[in-house]
Amino acid sequence: MGRGRRLALALLLVLLFLAGSIELIAPRHVRVGEEVEAVALVNGVQAPGEITVVSPAGDSTCYANGHAKFNASGAGTWLVRYSDVERRVEVENRLPAYAEPLAYGAFAFAALAIAYSFFRGRRKLLVEKRFEAGTVSIEVRNAGEDLLGVRISDPVPEDAELDLPMGARHGARESAGPDGRRCVRWHLPVLRAGERVVLAYGMRTSARVLPGAEVRASLGREVIAGSDEVRT
């Protein structure tokens, strides 16, 4: 290309820039590791000249012919410049689009597993209450892991006459429950895995239905179980 022709082309480009508007096209948000493409346009036509890309660390790279293609290798704000026009590209640390449904699925699965483990733990503490010939018996079976601080509470009718056993391990005491009702209570420091205990006391009452007993224990979390009501 002759010198005169080059000068004419340069003059044409100058006039184009003076008369036209510059548009810099680049994405606003991408993920780390994605490829970013930027194009400079003047009046809708790809412009000559250099596009400068500045990374969050301050490193700059120049690309010719109004076109840049680079890898967004780090999170933060990348600057894309052409002439006096600047565009910000926010690069985020997040999962690729195809992995997001997998992540949500994994989270839901984990939540279900925790809920299943919790309710399964409750079912492993089995409680059965019986009333025969003036004697209330409560059977507690631990089909799970060792339980600490086992507390058994058995509500009794207001007219009940009680005959409570005494003893170092299975001794019972009477006290008021959280709702103010009379209760017979036991406290076992530990209930081993597979262990079964039967707690009994004498009672005379005119009530036709006895409330169910409740058992609370600790295993990193509170475990609660209860028996059904019993007819006298």
At 162, which CATH number?
A: 2.60.40.690
Residue 107 counted as domain residue: no
127 and 222 in a common domain: yes
Residue 78: which of 67, 65, 92, 64 has the closest Cα? 92
For residue 100, the model assigns a pLDDT of 52
141 and 52 in a common domain: no
152's tokens: 């058994």
Q: How far is CA 121 from CA 116, 118, 153, in A?
A: 8, 5, 19
Residue 144 counted as domain residue: yes
Under 8 Å between Cβ of 50 and 63: yes
Residue 53 counted as domain residue: yes
Residue 118 counted as domain residue: no
Under 8 Å between Cβ of 218 and 148: yes
Determine the structural domain holding residue 161 and report its residue range.
123-231
Q: How many CB atoms lie within 10 A of CB 167?
A: 7
Under 8 Å between Cβ of 81 and 51: yes
Q: Which residue(s) pair with 204 in the sheet?
A: 161
Q: Is the pTM of this model over 0.75?
A: no
- Residue with structure tokens 């079912």? 123
Query: Digits of tens for pLDDT over the chain (232 positions)?
Result: 456 555 554 554 555 455 557 888 888 899 998 999 998 888 767 888 899 999 999 999 999 988 999 999 999 999 999 988 999 999 998 655 555 555 556 656 666 655 555 454 444 788 999 999 899 999 999 988 888 788 899 999 999 999 888 765 677 888 887 777 899 999 888 888 899 999 999 999 998 888 888 888 865 455 677 777 777 6
- Residue with structure tokens 């170092």? 168
For residue 96, the model assigns a pLDDT of 53
143 and 197 in a common domain: yes
80 and 39 in a common domain: yes
For residue 141, the model assigns a pLDDT of 92
Q: Which of 52, 75, 92 is the last residue of a domain?
A: 92
Interacting residues of 111 by C-beta distance below 8 A, sequence separation 6+: none
| 63-67: Cβ within 8 A, 24+ apart | 66/39, 66/40, 66/41, 67/37, 67/38, 67/39, 67/40
127 and 87 in a common domain: no
199's tokens: 């707690």
Residue 5 counted as domain residue: no
Q: How many CB atoms lie within 10 A of CB 36?
A: 17
Overall number of domains in the chain:
2
Q: Which of 41, 70, 92 is the last residue of a domain?
A: 92
